[in-house]
Structure 1
Amino acid sequence: MIKAIIRIVVAIIGFVAGYELLKAVFPTILEVTGLALQVPLPLGSIFGGVIFGFIFYIITPSLMNSLLRLSSWVDSKLKNVPTQDIILGVFGLLVSLFIGLLLSLLLNRIPLIGVYLSLALNIVLVYLGINFVLNRKEEFSFVTSLVSRQRAAVAGKAKHADKKVLDTSVIIDGRITDICKTGFLEGTLVVPGFVLEELRHIADSPDLLKRNRGRRGLDILNKIQKEMDIPVEIYEGDFEDIPEVDSKLVKLAKVLSGKIITNDFNLNKVCELQGVPVLNINELANAVKPVVLPGEEMVAQIIKDGKEAGQG
């Protein structure tokens, strides 16, 4: 279907080209052949357009095959060329064409041969420009380094654009540090100020268990910030009109267009209802549990005696 459409488009281009060509040269042909009175100009131009359109329609398949073979050949050759050489070659090509364009403005004023001189000059300049740049790679290394820095900056922005908002439960849990170590977690970890405040209140609790959990959460955050190769951002803002911490987390995730990392089942459901992406570490742990297929043998080692005889 696509090939048929291409053939029709090329045939139309051929018709237009033939029509315009015959329109330009037809008066001369009629004058030379003495048919000026017998054949009107529009009819001759249309006839030329039909002939050219038919020729273009016939040769299109072979022309397409030739172009495909040429593109495959160029692609196979470029695979063996270092990216640095390609970048420098394009740089030399652009500079040469720019210089050729400036000189062509002068050469085109020469009657008859100006256009041909301009074309020849551009071909020579392109050849010389590409060779000149490739033969002096070291001197033009700033071009490739500039492209590399730009590419790295774009990649860095893309990598850090995805923000993950941590809630209190996932910080106290501590498994987030192991996940960060593996490198599976990308983007920026966002620790809201109101979550830090909640951790501080838990760490100051008179209850020993709560106090230990709060201090553990603060230690986990400190470890992530200092030891992990992942950016951590402290969000200082607050939503004073929202009293609940979970509701604030959902609001913040919407503002940052980020995701919430949590272990809280209820917060998980709230996020799903409000269309906020959520990453649940408990679900991740269940997903990576080893799978036992029917018929496989397992060895169980009893490590502790039970309360009753024969139990363990």
Structure 2
Amino acid sequence: MLNRIIKISFSILGAVTGFTILRTVLLSNHIAMSENLRILIFVLFSLAFCTLFYFMASKIIGFVGVFIDRIENGIQNITLSEMLLGALGLIVGLIVANLISIPIIKIQIIGVPFAVIINILFGFTGVGISLRKRNENFLDIFRDGKVNSNIPKIVDTSTIIDGRILDICSSGFIDGELVIPSFVLEELRHIADSDDSLRRARGRRGLDILNLLQKDSCHTVKIEEFDYHNMEADEMLMKASLKLKGKLVTIDYNLSKVAVLKGIKVLNINELANAVKPIALPGEEMNVQVVKDGKEAGQGVAFLEDGTMIVVEGGKKYLGETVPVMVTSVLQTSAGRMVFAKPNK
């Protein structure tokens, strides 16, 4: 019923438009004709525009329906501050458009349509520009004359499951908005629904960590929709990071290296953990428990409380025992820090 009313309204609008256009053309050119012929031409011209607008109505209704659905989906993921910022951008864009339209609107026939198009274009441009600047703090301009860019942090699945990001955020080492891509949330859900008990536990742990992050009043956690299809998860993460101009938070070594090559700033939690580990200096003595054999003959392997691996030369014979050792060298690798020691007996 509503579609029929809209089509009838468009038909009437088309008839009026056709009548107005023809009347303007005839008056401008001072074309003389008999009254019967004039009425016939007006009727035919109005019917032609009426029919054209009627068939256009169905296309417009479909387009508007899809457009409204997209707006509704977008509004669900937009914060109140972003809506206010978008409204401000719309107002500024319309003001500029109206200033430009003042001389254009006076042009006969095409003036009004052009003015409407200019208002639409500048309105959308204002909204787009304002939303692109949503991560910048306007008040910082008055503090030090510079804009402090609040760069969003895009978090991957492995980081959420790992859980250390919760403590890092609580300690204040990561600031700004945390962005969880929609495909990461979907991946967490699939892992939590897995038939494998270990994967299921990891997925549920990730969802619990995400809930705790959302409850943290110091950080804004935003679920961002990305319409990516037929792509690997790592590729989608890098594409989302480039789109938002944000930093990628991960514990995946390979992903971090590829992302850096593509110009994406990466926050690798494993690198942070290695950086804050206590440094063992050559000549330092400590007590360690040898827990397994090393790769080389006669070697034993022990671990510090923070997970640092200690290779004990000749430590195989002390397997299962706690022995005093002296550090001989320290090797820093991309995977972490390795300490080499020998028994101090």
User: Greater helix percent: which structure?
Assistant: 1
Greater strand fraction, Structure 1 or Structure 2: 2
- Normalising TM by the smaller chain, what interval? 0.3 to 0.5
TM-score, with length taken from structure 2: 0.42
Report which structure shows greater RCO (CA 8 Å, sep ≥6): 1
